[in-house]
Amino acid sequence: MQAYQVTAFDAAPELIEIACPAPAAGQIAVRIEACGLNFADLLMQKGTYQDTPTLPFVPGLEVSGTVTALGETVTEFKIGDRVAVFCGQGGLAEEGVFDASRAVRIPDSMSFEHAAALQIAYGTSLVALDHCARLQPGETLLVTGAAGGVGLTAVEIGKLMGARVIAHARGADKLEVARAAGADHVIDDSEDLRSIVKDLGGADVVYDAVGGPVWKAAFRATNPCGRLLPIGFASGEVPQIPANHLLVKNLTVIGFYIGGYMKARPEVIQQAFATLFDWHAAGRIKPHISHVLPLSQVAEGMELLRSRASTGKVVITP
């Protein structure tokens, strides 16, 4: 089978032929129909991600496809089932073997592309905003990087939860995407984020996918007793948080990483996925996919993420 493999952190990954894997006990084999790209895939290729696998490895954190074989002890799936898998690695290939505990059936009404695009971005936003930050109806939610893979879902879910949503993104086209997802107010990256948010009454919850100066401006625009979620650092700069300011304004900074929750609190993630599948079936959410590319164009897909040229998700279809 073909797979997009990382063999060295200082070399470009290659599309190569490797043997098709066979499932061990507790695993399922999946013919991969779609794989969602994530910023973490870029970090893995550089060896800087917190969960970078040992070399060589195939990146690709979330997939959907059809079960083709079952390992011993697997009883919850059958051959032919349509599944989504939050796999953590191995998704950028024609086939994969994954722990059955990481897979869920997807409804017939859901496309493979939507199933691959939904897991990490929507799962991150739902658990972060609901379970962690306890976003309440009527509160003001500020989302930075609001047209990106996770940011756009935060806009959509924040609006579903009854919040007033302020979206921050770069350029008129991206701001229009955020507005279409439900943003009540939009702020261009060239504008003064802090002063505009303050003029709008401040933020009760901040969902920041950018870091760097954007985090600093959002931090200063947060209302007393507000909650801040550092979700990602697309700017390349990890913010340093002044504890004395947390004290004076009674602020709470909440770390959230979906991969860590999958290990420590898998039931929270599984419940979130169940909710998201129900919302999708009811037409309440619809993943925004700006690019669908074949496996031969993974490098182009990664560059779309690196340059922040995409909106929503980039999906690879092996």
Residues 184-231: pLDDT tens digits? 999 999 999 999 999 999 999 999 999 999 999 999 999 999 999 999
> Measured between alpha carbons, how far apart are the two ends of the chain, in Å?
10
Cis, peptide link before residue 56, omega less than 30° from 0? yes
| pLDDT of the residue at 236 | 84
Segment 143-195, tens digit of pLDDT? 999 999 899 999 999 999 999 999 999 999 999 999 999 999 999 999 999 99
259 has a pLDDT exceeding 90: no
For the CA atoms of 277, 279, 281, 286, the dihedral, rounded to the nearest 10 degrees, stands at: -100
Q: What percent of the chain has pLDDT over 70?
A: 100
Secondary structure of 200-265 in HEC code, one letter for each residue: CCCEEEEEECCCHHHHHHHHHCEEEEEEEEECCCCCCCCCCCCHHHHHHHCCEECCCCHHHHHHHC
> Would you call 127 helix, strand, or coil by DSSP?
helix
Q: At residue 289, what is the residue type?
A: I
* Pairs from 81-86 (Cβ < 8 Å, separation ≥ 24): 81/105, 82/106, 82/108, 82/112, 82/115, 83/28, 83/30, 84/115, 84/116, 84/118, 84/119, 84/273, 85/30, 86/61, 86/62, 86/119, 86/120, 86/123, 86/258, 86/262, 86/269
Q: How far apart are CA 20 and CA 280, in angstroms?
A: 33
69 has a pLDDT exceeding 90: yes
Q: What band does 279 get if pLDDT is binned at 50, 70 and 90?
A: very high
Across all residues in the chain, what is the average pLDDT?
95
- Number of residues that this document lists for the chain: 318
| pLDDT of the residue at 266 | 87
pTM of the model: 0.90
| pLDDT of the residue at 200 | 98
> Would you call 189 helix, strand, or coil by DSSP?
coil
Segment 2-54, tens digit of pLDDT? 999 999 997 889 999 999 989 999 999 999 999 999 999 999 999 988 889 99
Burial 193-208 (b: 16+ CB within 10 A, else e): bbebbbebebbbbbbb
**Averaged pLDDT, 92-110:** 95
| pLDDT of the residue at 7 | 94
What domains can be seen in the chain, in order of their start residue?
A: 2-119+260-317 (3.90.180.10), 134-253 (3.40.50.720)
| pLDDT of the residue at 11 | 86
Residues 85/102, Cβ–Cβ less than 8 Å? yes
H helices present in 25-129, as ranges: 39-46, 112-126
Q: What band does 235 get if pLDDT is binned at 50, 70 and 90?
A: confident
| pLDDT of the residue at 96 | 97
| pLDDT of the residue at 212 | 95
Chain CA centroid to CA 217, Å: 23
